[in-house]
Amino acid sequence: MIRNNNYNTKQKSVEHKINHFITSTHVRLTGDNIENKVVETRDAMKLAREMELDLVELSIAKDVSICKIVDYQKFLYEKKKKEKEQKKKQNLVEVKEIRMRPNIDEHDFNFKLVHAKNFLNDNDKVLVSIFFKGREITYKEQGEIVLLRFAEELKGFGVPEYLPKLEGKRMLMMVKPYKK
């Protein structure tokens, strides 16, 4: 509980306005065992003091701030806990890149294919790129054939987002995993 009788001190938290730092003249009260209603700020602060809790400004509407009467430390703890829980549930997708050349050997192709399957099983996207060196760019059809064959081999693990496209001296294809 943050209760400060010295009104000349500065507020320590920038995240929420608390108690006497609330500048609105009227507030809409929310909280446990509190009727939802619009009251003057000083009456809300008086009510919070009687309950030995804090008046915390949640958001500012047009004329009226929305405030909650709650123990501020407990409020911050629960907020951090919710954020941590949401972060846990978040599913981040990474993009892994596999680089090849247009005249790749069969063994090397299979080696890269195994890695791509592992990445897709880990729910990561795979960017497959073929880099053309020097005059190899004249054989871009061969690079496209390698990429399409790669996509065909990955059929059970993922699906291409787009067909192979040429960007400068690289031909790219993105493969996304199947949804589980």
Question: Binning pLDDT at 50, 70 and 90, where does residue 9 land?
Answer: very low
In a domain, 34, yes or no: yes
Q: Are residues 76 and 99 in the same domain?
A: no
> Residues 65-72: what's their mean pLDDT?
82
Q: Are residues 112 and 78 in the same domain?
A: no
Question: Binning pLDDT at 50, 70 and 90, where does residue 115 land?
Answer: very high
Decide: residue 9, CB within 10 A, 0-12 exposed, 13-18 middle, 19+ buried.
exposed
Q: Are residues 103 and 127 in the same domain?
A: yes
Say which CATH number the domain at 154 has.
3.30.110.10
Among the three residues 69, 88, 107, which one is the final residue of a domain in this structure? 88
Among the three residues 57, 88, 119, which one is the final residue of a domain in this structure? 88
**The predicted structure's pLDDT at residue 85:** 86
**The predicted structure's pLDDT at residue 129:** 93
> Residues 95-116: what's their mean pLDDT?
92
pLDDT in tens, 24-53: 777 888 777 777 778 887 888 888 888 888
In a domain, 3, yes or no: no
The structural domain count of the chain equals 2
**The predicted structure's pLDDT at residue 45:** 83
Among the three residues 53, 88, 123, which one is the final residue of a domain in this structure? 88
Q: Are residues 23 and 80 in the same domain?
A: yes
- C-alpha torsion sign, points 155, 158, 162, 164: negative
Question: Binning pLDDT at 50, 70 and 90, where does residue 14 land?
Answer: low
In a domain, 116, yes or no: yes
Q: Tell which residue, 56, 67, 50, 53, has the closest CA to residue 19.
A: 56
**The predicted structure's pLDDT at residue 180:** 61
pTM of the prediction? 0.52
Q: Are residues 143 and 159 in the same domain?
A: yes
In a domain, 53, yes or no: yes
Residue 20 predicted with pLDDT over 80: no
In a domain, 32, yes or no: yes
In a domain, 157, yes or no: yes
pLDDT in tens, 118-176: 998 888 899 999 998 888 888 888 889 999 999 999 988 889 998 888 888 899 999 99
- Where is pLDDT greater, at 21 or 73? 73
For residue 22 the two structure tokens come to: 């609330």
What is the pLDDT of the chain when averaged over all its residues?
Answer: 82
Q: Are residues 113 and 157 in the same domain?
A: yes
Say which CATH number the domain at 53 has.
3.10.20.80
Provide the domain limits for residue 129. Answer: 95-177
**The predicted structure's pLDDT at residue 107:** 94
Q: Following DSSP, what letter does each residue of the chain receive, concatenated?
A: ----S-TTSPPS-SSSEEGGG---SEEEEESTT---EEEEHHHHHHHHHHTT-EEEEEEE-SS-EEEEEE-HHHHHHHHHHHHHHHHHH-----EEEEEE-TT--HHHHHHHHHHHHHHHHTT-EEEEEEEPPGGGGGGHHHHHHHHHHHHHHTTTTEEESS--EEETTEEEEEEEEPP-
